[in-house]
Chain A
Amino acid sequence: MIVFDKPKALTDAPLHYCPGCTHGIIHRLVAEAIDNLNIGGETIGVASVGCSVFTYNYFNVDMVQAAHGRAPAVATGVKRADPSKIVFTYQGDGDLASIGMAETVHAAARGENITIIFVNNAIYGMTGGQMAPTSLPGQVTQTSPYGRDTNTVGFPVKVCELLSTLDGAGYIERVAVNNVKNVRNAKKAIEKAFRNQVEGKGFSLIEVVSTCPTNWGKTPQGALEWLEENMLPYYPLGVYKDKFAEEAAK
């Protein structure tokens, strides 16, 4: 009996991610959600620009590769073209919260019926470790070599907190995949974010607090520890908004 198999929604292509990078786990959770809801044949994914740019090789669904930051607008076009399709984006923090902030905020404000998977690793992974809009105060990166100085470059953007102020946003949750309990919770949240769309409810975004051992200069284990000690206190996990549950409760 097979107890652990590769989800159907993943291709056989070997993932290119660094050892200890949590992109891989998140891919698996997305694929499991697609399988569990049995929507692979109707799903269209939008890849972004960042370490996850090659998601179009990994997800076993129709995919389009968007320009840096523009995935929510591309997803809007796909969804409006055929509302029967399940449309998701997979974006990093530089992509979603810096160059693509306008596209993100307005997709949420419109209550666009799409699902966004937002991987926050507090760094620009793909370009070699520059400061991200989500880099922590004091965090050393290639472009904040003396540590992020909040006096000159300001403070990190807390995406879930920000988006949950918008009436259009439906379901906003922040999760992590640093331990078994959190992975289970992340799995539930991601599946719910897709189910909301299947049920025609509206905009869902799941932020996954993630690691980048390579650019953080940490071992895989060290990266998880750094995440727990620094990221989670700054980016508390939890449901920031669930308009759909509130509506159902009324």
Chain B
Amino acid sequence: MADKILMKGNEALAEAAIMAGCRHYFGYPITPQTEVAAYMAKRMPKIGGVFLQAESEIAAINMVIGAAAAGKRAMTSSSSPGISLKSEGISYMAGCDLPALIVNVQRGGPGLGGIQPSQSDYFQATCGGGHGDFHLLVLAPSSVQEMADLVAKGFDLAEKYRMPCMLLADGTMGQMMEPVSLEETKQEACEKPWALTGTKGERKPNIINSLALQPQELEQWNEDRFKRYEIVKENEQMAESYLMDDAEYCVVAFGIAARVSQNAVDAARAKGIKVGMIRPITLWPFPEKVLKEAADKCKAFLSVELNMGQMIKDVKLAIDCKKPVDLCYRTGGMIPSPEEVLAAIEKMQKEGK
């Protein structure tokens, strides 16, 4: 284990990307993720990598497309309004089966919104966030350590399944400082015979393309892609269970909401309420398996979110609406206090009896 150092989430993420072999970063400034760009601007030129400040998020994601098409580990980062601009490129990337990492350090919306932490891009991230039938891999860190660890994981998954991967963080994750240990991650060897490397006159041209004017052909492409998505759903669900063994009630929360909720769960346990927490780490694929198991044991669920209630729909779907699901939320950049979450747990317990 490498020594622990104190780092901001955004910087830990940036260094972790470099350690995971990423040498191509394209971005555009926006709060609260600008530290990623600043870090890359400093580091990349020293290690023979590429940092390029694009003219817009649209250009940045298309530069990522170019570098990914050339077979490189490439990434971009932004925050909510910028991710909206990237969604055209994200859709093209999905349609071209290109792997890359897209970081969204979310802020409150809609519109220009605010600059405080939020989870209100959950729908946008987990439903694809662009036109067409597709999904992204979506990973949700809830500590600075995970901001780092999920970067390498994200690149590996993206390349394994040839899908774009989104790291869905929030302003708190990006800005807070925590001790973190960073280690050179072993890059999973991944052949890229599809990459544009020049034919050298020795092979047929590689073509990276999402256009299929024949509907039968496009249907087949989409069917094939969704078969791959089924494998991802089967193999890659990740969640952390906290005090779930004897739990009668289950809190579901990710990212910063899970940090707050864990305190509330502890407080509720101290009061004798048998409550636990499931923290999704992959938001797509959503960790349905653990939730289904929990649905057999628990009396009620509580979704805690920094938005008007987005993940709650996936919770209900995962448990087939077998048990009641309450919502505890703050929005617009507000974060619920542990007391608010505790009150919601107590209410759930009272109603669930």
Contact = CB atoms under 8 A, between A and B. Distances in A.
Interface of A: 11, 40-44, 46-47, 53, 56-57, 59-67, 70, 73-82, 85, 102-103, 105-106
Interface stretch (B54-62, B162-170, B310-318, B343-351): B54-62
Given A103-B55, A103-B62, A56 B207 contact: yes
B66 A82 contact: no
B205 A82 contact: no
Interface string B43-73: 0000000101011101110111111111110
Contacts of B65: 64, 66, 70, 73-74, 77
Contacts of A82: 70, 72, 197
B135 interface: no
Contact of A70 (B58, B71, B197, B210): B58
Interface in B172-229: 196-202, 205-211
Given A42-B198, A62-B197, A64-B69, A73 B207 contact: no
Contacts of B74: 77, 81
19 contacts: A40-B201, A41-B201, A43-B198, A62-B198, A62-B206, A63-B207, A64-B96, A66-B65, A67-B62, A67-B88, A70-B58, A70-B62, A73-B60, A76-B59, A77-B67, A78-B70, A81-B67, A103-B55, A106-B55
B208 A63 contact: yes
Describe B's contact surface by its main secondary structure: mixed
A62 B207 contact: yes
Nearest to A62: B196
B26 interface: yes
Nearest to A99: B58
Contact of B200 (A11, A42, A46, A103): A42
A41 B198 CA distance: 5
Contact of A81 (B54, B71, B202): B71
Contact of B59 (A57, A63, A73, A79): A73
